[in-house]
Amino acid sequence: MSKNIYDTLKKALEEKIIFYDLADQPIDISCKALSARQAIGTPDHDDYPIIKGKEVMVEADFLNAKGQSFTDEFENRSYRVKDLLSMDLFTNRERASFIAGLNAVYRYLDLIEKTIHCKDKEPVLCAKKLPDIIQKDSKVLLVGHQPRFLEKLASHCSVRAVDLDKENVGKEFFSVTIEPEENTKEAIKWCDMIFATGSTIVNNSISNFIDVGKPAVFYGVTISAPAKILNLTTFCEYGH
């Protein structure tokens, strides 16, 4: 990811810290990984990455405002608000904490909504909303193997899917074969629209999908504050 994107996020956060006098707050941003049940409840399907143990949900709590981020690496530790500005953000672990903290601060300030993942039956209900934003004859690149989204898209339009999880690559789900990350550029040329997981802001790949000549929509709660700051289009119907 371009370092400029994180610089932009940090600058926006710094402005809010100064304006609202948050730097010396005696409250820590406590980042921790949630269990699958805490993060997504008991959905009807068990094929989500978080249930399979491929990802975890990191949650930051700032003055009772919660922000979350999906990641494959996490840390259980506390940060003061101003500490977020000096984080190196070289690893998924650091980026997950930073993004969760950023989401929590922006939620506390009422600048964003939907920073807590949907649960139980809501992922299925969310997927049912996709036809509202995606035309039936369009070609869509799905970034990240979100099973309910892939299932709905596969029955609605032409879809290709890329994923970082090597165990998914080459396997067929809903008549769509998951492709490796190295196919991304060619798939972007093919598609009419990019529908990408918001966790690309954590896994160091979001710059592959911004300003590439195709409209991009980022889904999920991870991208909540970054999307506000970067002016990105989002889809998250049942986040809390």
Q: Is the pLDDT of residue 22 over 50?
A: yes
Alpha carbons 139 and 158: distance in angstroms, whole number: 5
Alpha carbons 103 and 119: distance in angstroms, whole number: 19
Residue spans of the domains in the chain: they are 3-108, 122-235
User: Residues 136-194: pLDDT tens digits?
Assistant: 989 999 999 888 899 999 999 999 999 988 888 999 999 999 999 999 999 999 999 99
Q: Evaluate whether 180 touches 169 at the Cβ level (below 8 Å).
A: yes
Can you give the pLDDT at residue 20? Answer: 93
Q: Is the pLDDT of residue 71 over 70?
A: yes
Confidence of residue 1 (pLDDT cuts 50, 70, 90): very low
Alpha carbons 184 and 168: distance in angstroms, whole number: 15
Extract the tokens encoding 120: 């139980």
Q: Is the pLDDT of residue 52 over 50?
A: no
Confidence of residue 38 (pLDDT cuts 50, 70, 90): low
Residue, of 29 and 35, whose pLDDT is higher: 29
The CATH number of the structural domain formed by 122-235 is: 3.40.50.11590
Q: Is the pLDDT of residue 28 over 70?
A: no
Alpha carbons 60 and 102: distance in angstroms, whole number: 9
User: Residues 194-231: pLDDT tens digits?
Assistant: 999 999 999 989 999 999 999 999 999 999 999 999 99
Q: Which residues pair with 26 in a beta bridge?
A: none
Q: Evaluate whether 163 touches 146 at the Cβ level (below 8 Å).
A: no
Q: Is residue 170 left, alpha or beta, with left meaning phi > 0 and alpha meaning psi from -120 to 50?
A: left
Query: Strand locations in the chain, DSSP E?
Result: 29-34, 56-62, 65-71, 77-79, 139-143, 158-162, 172-173, 176-179, 193-197, 216-219, 233-235
CA-based end-to-end distance of the chain: 28
